[in-house]
Structure 1
Amino acid sequence: MNSKYIVNVEAAIYKEDKWLLVKRSKKEEHAPGAISLVGGKVEVNEALPNILEETLKREIMEEVGIEVYDDIQYVESKSFFTDKGEPVVDIVFLCRYKSGKPHCVNKDEVAEVFWLAAQEILEDVNTPIWVKQSLRIAEKMRLNLNEMW
């Protein structure tokens, strides 16, 4: 069993009742052309606090050019294998949109950016089951947070 793995973080970003999704570029190494949450690999060059959250904020800015609030919350974790068979630990976080106009910062990574309601995502046949699973949990969390405010 391989003990080395990639750590990946993803952002379930919401603005009011919409969720930000991307269509991955056809040039992406893993899941080219798939609908997904914004995110990427954790790169460790030095010891840092809040490495997952900081990686997430960096990836959001690098992929779609927006900011999220610092009140990032854990949604779920799962594992999968890349198209090359590499093991990945994937952690999904709930993020509130703060500022910026989402756009494809790097067309080699992101082909499209769009806001959709949870129901639209769950009914879309092109959205992978793992994205729908994360969004179901994130939507429940978002609704609970709205009730508390």
Structure 2
Amino acid sequence: MQISAKADYAVRALLELARAPARPLTCEAIASSQEIPFRFLKSVVGELRRAGLVRSQRGCEGGYWLGRPAAEITLLDVVLAVDGEVLSLRGEPLAGLGYPGPAGGLPGVWRRIEADAKDVLGALTLAALLPAAATGPAGAQPRTRIGAV
């Protein structure tokens, strides 16, 4: 199992944006704060923008904001936005996977692992990963609050 660099960087960038939702952040500021390569982050943020997870404004007062409240963005949303799949086998989706003979049950195991991963990722919001003081406006409660994963 492997979590892609794109997914890791995307979540880290979104957590930076969620920490200070009232002001825009530049890619340079996010990259510096999270020690992420700027050029790679720029392409990841573009994918997040196309998925509606961030919004942007050009100009000297511009930057990026979350596209939705942190309590409404799950880690599953992020992974699907940048990777398209939660789990794949040799780069292919698991949906049509089948093996002959004694390995015939193995695709079901892979699909079960994918389903479990989707359950975990879908239950965790950005707000749940932030310290309590940084969850945003009063009343915005995360679906799941965790200390450490």
TM-score of the aligned structures, taking structure 1 as reference length: 0.27
Q: Which has the higher contact order (CA 8 A, sep 6+)?
A: 1
| Higher normalized strand content (fraction of residues) | 1
TM-score of the aligned structures, taking structure 2 as reference length: 0.27
